[in-house]
C-alpha cells in the first residue's frame, strides 16, 4: 500500500458502523445459516470467525478501504459496482461462479438434479455428509475472501475465474487434510481428489 493508515483510521476500517438487524440478516450463504452452523465443530475456526464478521458487517470492504484499494470503493471484478459484503459473497457474478463450482463438488455426493447440493449435505442424516457440506461451504467462503484481500491488501492482480477455481480446489483439499488429521474417519469427508480437480478444470 502506498498510504499507511494511522491508528484511528485503521480502527474505522476494521470496525465500520453496524448496520440495522435487517441488513445483518439479509446475508444468506449457500447452504444453511444459523449461529450453531457458524460455530459448528466441523467448521475451521478461521471460517467461523470470517462468517461471524460477515453477518455482523465487520469486514473491511468498499467505502471503508477506498483510500487503499486499487479499485477504490468498487468491486474488483464489477468495476462500476460499489462493493458491499452482500455483493462480494452473494451477487457478484465472478464470486457466484465460485459458489457454482462448490455446488458442483457437493453434487458428487447428492442425487442427480439436486438444486442445492451443499444445503442437502449439511442437512443430511449422515454426519460424514454433513461434515463434507460444511467443508465445501467453508472453502468457498474463504476462497472469495482470500482472493479479494490478496488483490486489495496484497497488491496482486485481480484474480481470474480460473485462478479462483484452483484456489477453491486447493482449499477443499487442505480442509479435508486438516479434518483427517483431527478426526478418526476411515473415509475422506470430501469427494475424491481426482474428481474435484476434474470439476474445477471444466
CA distance 44 to 148: 19
Q: What is the pLDDT of residue 84?
A: 92
Residue 68 φ/ψ, nearest 5 degrees:
-115, -20
pLDDT in tens, 126-185: 999 999 999 999 999 999 999 999 999 888 999 999 999 999 988 988 887 776 555 544
Indicate the angle between helix axes 161-182 and 127-152, nearest 10 degrees.
130
The pTM for the full model equals 0.76
Q: What is the pLDDT of residue 108?
A: 87
Radius of gyration of the chain (CA): 17
Predicted confidence band of residue 3 (pLDDT cuts 50, 70, 90): low
CA distance 64 to 92: 19
CA distance 201 to 109: 19
CA distance 202 to 199: 5
pLDDT in tens, 44-53: 899 999 988 9
Q: What is the pLDDT of residue 81?
A: 94
pLDDT in tens, 31-79: 777 788 889 999 889 999 998 898 888 899 998 888 888 999 999 999 8
Indicate the burial class of 18 (C-beta count within 10 angstroms; 0-12, 13-18, 19 or more).
Answer: exposed
What mean pLDDT is reported for the chain? Answer: 80
Looking at the DSSP bridge assignments, the partners of residue 82 are 74
Whether the pLDDT of residue 25 is over 50: the answer is: no
CA distance 190 to 198: 14
DSSP single-letter state for residue 13:
H
Amino acid at each position: 500500500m502506498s498510504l499507511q493508515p494511522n491508528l484511528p483510521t485503521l480502527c474505522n476500517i476494521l470496525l465500520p458502523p453496524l448496520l440495522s438487524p435487517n441488513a445483518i440478516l439479509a446475508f444468506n450463504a449457500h447452504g444453511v445459516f444459523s449461529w450453531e452452523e457458524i460455530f459448528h465443530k466441523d467448521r475451521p475456526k478461521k471460517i467461523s470467525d470470517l462468517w461471524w464478521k460477515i453477518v455482523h458487517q465487520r469486514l473491511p470492504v468498499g467505502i471503508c478501504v477506498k483510500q487503499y484499494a486499487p479499485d477504490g470503493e468498487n468491486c474488483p471484478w464489477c468495476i462500476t459496482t460499489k462493493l458491499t459484503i452482500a455483493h462480494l459473497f452473494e451477487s457478484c457474478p465472478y464470486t457466484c461462479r465460485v459458489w457454482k463450482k462448490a455446488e458442483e463438488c457437493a453434487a458428487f455426493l447428492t442425487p442427480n438434479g439436486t438444486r442445492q447440493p451443499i444445503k442437502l449435505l449439511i442437512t443430511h442424516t449422515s454426519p460424514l455428509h454433513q461434515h463434507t457440506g460444511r467443508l465445501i461451504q467453508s472453502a468457498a467462503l474463504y476462497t472469495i475472501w482470500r482472493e479479494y484481500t490478496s488483490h486489495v491488501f496484497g497488491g496482486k492482480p485481480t484474480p481470474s475465474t480460473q485462478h479462483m477455481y484452483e484456489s477453491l480446489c486447493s482449499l477443499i483439499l487442505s480442509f479435508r487434510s486438516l479434518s483427517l488429521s483431527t478426526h478418526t474417519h476411515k473415509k475422506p469427508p470430501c469427494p475424491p481428489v481426482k474428481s474435484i480437480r476434474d470439476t474445477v478444470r471444466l
